[in-house]
Structure 1
Amino acid sequence: MKMLFSCLAGGCVMLCTSAASADTLYKCIDGSGVVLYTNQKGAAKNCTVLSRDLPVTTLGTASRSASANAGRSSPSSFPRVNDDLQRRRDNDRRSILEQEFSIEQQNLDKARQALTEGEASRRGDEQSYQKYLSRIQELRNDVTLHERNIEALKRELANLK
Structure 2
Amino acid sequence: MRILPVLLLLLVSPLAQAQVYKCVDANGAVTYTNDRNQGRGCKQLAEDQAVSSVPAPARRSSSASQPTPSNFPRVSPDAQRARDDTRREILEKELTTEESALAEASKSLAETEGRYQGAERRLPVVQNRLQPLREKVELHQRNIDALKKELGNLK
Superposition TM-score tier, normalisation by shorter sequence: 0.5 to 0.7
Aligned-residue offset at 1:74: 2.1
| Alpha-carbon distance in 2 for matches of 1:138, 1:145 | 10
1:104 aligns with 2:98: yes
Pairs within 5 Å for 1:58-137: 59-62=55-58, 73-121=67-115, 129-137=123-131
Aligned-residue offset at 1:52: 8.6
| Alpha-carbon distance in 2 for matches of 1:52, 1:64 | 28
State the identity %. Answer: 44
| Alpha-carbon distance in 2 for matches of 1:145, 1:151 | 10
Aligned-residue offset at 1:131: 2.0
Amino acid at match of 1:89: R
Task: Pick the aligned partner of 2:137 from 124, 143, 149.
Answer: 143
Amino acid at match of 1:60: A
Aligned length: 108
Amino acid at match of 1:137: Q
When Rg is computed on C-alpha atoms for both structures, the one with the higher figure is 1
Normalising by structure 2, we get a TM-score of 0.55
| Alpha-carbon distance in 1 for matches of 2:125, 2:91 | 37
- Give the unaligned 5+ runs of structure 1: 1-21, 26-50, 123-128
CA RMSD of aligned residues (A): 3.6
| Alpha-carbon distance in 1 for matches of 2:113, 2:138 | 16
